[in-house]
Chains A and B, each alone.
Chain A
């Protein structure tokens, strides 16, 4: 009896000493295993850094109370849609999640969104660019990434300025995200007058690209645009290099944004990636840390520079935090109203959500940049911002080989 009383006293003391009135429970899954592992982990680190910094600063302050941010779940979704469906339900029903962040990738997010919307929970999505999910009449879904239709606009604009006679091949992963990027990209390329000489999608788990590469060589494009996620994108780049395919420009989705990309060595050089954010982009933050402070804290904690997935993850937290503060409450309806009214610039850039019923929650404020892997004077590979010209940190290298 005495022991129970002592334990109870200890627990009460522990609760009091934390200084927080209540917790905010945030649920999400991470692809700790499976094909999306690399990008998902980077997104998670963004969430984690935000949580640690907010709690160290006394938590989220709303309506005169301090809330401690607590992650519930943090399960491994195995990069698998079925697991996402089970786990998001579990986080809402059993783990009492107040708010949710999305898993990584458009396909997993589309599934999670069905669950969160069904239970009327707010979910901020990062690492998910496909726009279709937002046309389904959701009320509590808010997108942090610029949608897929934006990815290739800059690429093709830049190409038009540099080499209007270029011939283009599209080689891309047969997955919701890359398809949602490439289809409008292809249409835009034709609209700009480019000759699209080859276009083929490959299965998401492809490791042997030799057959597709042979077809690309036969079609004689000068520019290749495509990819999907990390494993296929890195393999495609490596095999394009090993097969000495003569291309003036290679643009791949997602994969080259990861700091890990430099491990490909010479195959990595020159590759361009449409990016949601780069450490070199300098937005004047009206809320939260500056880009430099974010990058510094991130690098200090994880020993690698942040990718745009990391920045998107951190920004998710930041925008939710601001909405809760504005709402003065953690009530879903009030926070949703605050999110609908969000129009703010953070280190990550501008964030504004569409509020029309046909595309509610779609990101309409954020704009993208193009980054290219280049060798610096000491021969090391670094990622430089090359477009838009106003934001560039280095000149575009064209042709690359």
Chain B
């Protein structure tokens, strides 16, 4: 159960990026999974080259994520904003395929590991690994930082303004293009950061992002769009659910339960369970 909560915070972090982009610009970012995988490989490369503390390396990975996100925004997202959703789906899917294709060529689809471990602690027969706890802590800190950014800083407020009503925001003198690029870059950086954290827990391949992308969809639907702390809470809920049901059923049934939940939430709370309370 505790393991579930810890991993849940990482799911939450992954979903925040998807949720932010979806909420602000109405783009379902299908590069999400590929960027998570890039975050994993970013961590692997930096860690094997520098041998620094893996959590310190999150900072350069977030920075690279911002740069990469801006690049992707200007090359493939900017032109399809405001068009039917299918255009942005196709365009981000194309970028996704490019990343996965290039990644497969460079790293093949073989598994990689980041050999970094933080000592854990033991309660009775059960041991909680330090990596899980540190990853959860890092995810919570990043989520809080994003929340502060969105609600306490000018650019953050501008992002929210554009998300609420783009035309009104432009009338107030906010350059919506810059804001959209910023939001997209932040979304990508969050995905990369969550990938980097996952890479300290489990082995990964260039295709590993797909599973987290699916979980991100579940979390985003649970949380409602554009709410970072909501996404974190929904991530924790998903992790908790995984942890709570596994003692009673075979682990292979978990995806069925998760996606069953996904459908139920879509039907019963189409705006997300957390969104309903605040709307």
Please list the residues of chain A having a beta carbon within 8 angstroms of any beta carbon in chain B. Answer: 32-35, 37-38, 78-79, 174, 200-203, 205-208, 210-212, 214-215, 217-218, 220, 230-231, 234-235, 242-244, 246, 263, 265
Contact = CB atoms under 8 A, between A and B. Distances in A.
Interface stretch (B188-196, B201-209, B266-274): B201-209
Contact of B246 (A214, A234, A243): A214
A307 to B, nearest CB: 16
B59 to A, nearest CB: 25
Interface of B: 3-4, 7, 104, 108-111, 113, 115, 117, 120, 122, 125-127, 129, 131-132, 201-205, 208, 211, 242-243, 246-247, 250-252, 254
B242 A234 contact: no
A210 B126 CA distance: 10
B104 A33 contact: yes
A218 B1 CA distance: 13
B108 A37 contact: yes
B203 A214 contact: no
Contact of B202 (A79, A208, A215, A263): A208
Residue among B7, B126, B204 with max Cβ neighbours from chain A (10 Å)? B126
B41 to A, nearest CB: 15
Given A174-B252, A231-B203, A242-B129, A34 B247 contact: no
A214 B129 contact: no
Given A207-B208, A231-B203, A244 B127 contact: yes
A211 B251 contact: yes
Contacts of B4: 211
B110 A201 contact: no
Given A200-B250, A203-B252, A242-B117, A211 B3 contact: yes
Nearest to B255: A203
The 5 closest A-B pairs by CB, nearest first: A211-B246, A207-B202, A33-B109, A210-B3, A244-B127
Nearest to B211: A205
A243 B128 CA distance: 7
26 contacts: A35-B109, A174-B252, A201-B250, A203-B252, A207-B204, A207-B208, A208-B201, A211-B3, A211-B246, A212-B246, A212-B251, A214-B126, A214-B246, A215-B246, A215-B247, A218-B247, A220-B125, A231-B203, A234-B111, A234-B203, A235-B202, A242-B117, A242-B131, A243-B129, A246-B125, A265-B115
A155 B129 CA distance: 30
Contacts of A231: 111, 203
Contacts of A200: 250-251
Given A33-B110, A242-B127, 4 more contacts: A214-B3, A231-B203, A234-B203, A263-B113
A207 B4 CA distance: 14
B183 to A, nearest CB: 30
B33 to A, nearest CB: 14
A231 B122 CA distance: 26
Contact of B122 (A234, A244, A263): A244
A202 B3 contact: no
A243 B252 contact: no
Contacts of A79: 109
Contacts of B3: 210-211, 214
Contacts of B252: 174, 201-203
A200 B252 CA distance: 10
A234 B208 CA distance: 16
A211 B242 contact: yes
B208 to A, nearest CB: 7
A33 B108 contact: yes
Residue among B132, B208, B242, B251 with max Cβ neighbours from chain A (10 Å)? B251
A217 B201 CA distance: 20
Contacts of A210: 3, 7, 132
A82 to B, nearest CB: 15
A211 to B, nearest CB: 4
Nearest to A206: B251
A180 B116 CA distance: 35
A205 B255 CA distance: 13
A208 to B, nearest CB: 6
A202 B104 CA distance: 26
Residue among A210, A212, A231, A243 with max Cβ neighbours from chain B (10 Å)? A210
Nearest to B198: A207
Contacts of B117: 242
Contacts of A217: 125-126
B109 A37 contact: yes
A211 B243 contact: yes
A206 B208 CA distance: 10
Contacts of B246: 211-212, 214-215
